[in-house]
Amino acid sequence: MDWLRERIEQAHSAGLHVVLGLHADPAFFNRLTQPPKALKGYLSALRAQDLELARTWARTLQSDIISGWYLTLEIDDLHWRDSSRRRKLAHHLAIETRKLHSILPRPVYATSFFTAQMPPDAYADMIRDLDAHGLRIWIQDGAGTGRLDAAGRAPYLALAAQCEATAMRGLIFEVFRQADSTEGQFHARPLPPSEMSAALRQRAPCGGDSVFFSLRYLPSTEGKLAY
């Protein structure tokens, strides 16, 4: 943790805004298939781990270093299609956001992605509902994973450009191409240089945050970060 603290302090000193990621469970998506009662308990356990980690960082770092909290769960359009499950998710996130604000009042972020498991309008409604509970959602553009082609992604991304109606707080541009995965492990490679240059010129609509996933794929980090 000392090594990570030093890197965070260096990033802050270099003028970067640090949004701290909290607890990450590698079995997250598998655990989402649990029955409702077990799911509620699981989300409660995740929340407790997030809050403990946030308290640790709030004690360890000067408060001006922390620009926000990041919840590592990825909110997709498959596991939350059912309205009752979405209500459980919203309730969980509303509690967690409120408690994180009591530890250190900073914006709370999470990411979401779509694979055409919900109609675009229904997906947009889910994002708006989570935003109403105080969570700031960054939407993954899906270009790197390739689960949908450009035509399939277009209706979802078009909703993000409806500035008066969207609740999206930013867009995550995937600057990679996903390779075949083995044993559930994510594998990807950077975009070719010509495509990378164009990808890095992209900006989120409506003045939203422009996020690029991730540092490890950028040419300037070659040989410095493990793939």
pLDDT higher than threshold 50 for residue 95: yes
When pLDDT is averaged across residues 157-181 and rounded to a whole number, the result is: 85
pLDDT of residue 183: 55
Domain boundaries along the sequence of the chain:
2-221
pLDDT of residue 164: 81
Query: Has this prediction a pTM greater than 0.85?
Result: yes
pLDDT higher than threshold 90 for residue 223: no
pLDDT tens profile 21-76: 999 999 999 999 999 999 999 999 999 999 999 999 999 999 999 999 999 999 99
pLDDT tens profile 110-142: 999 999 999 999 999 999 999 999 999 999 999
pLDDT of residue 127: 93
pLDDT of residue 1: 79
Phi, psi of 177 (to 5 degrees): -125, 125
Top CATH class, 2-221? alpha beta
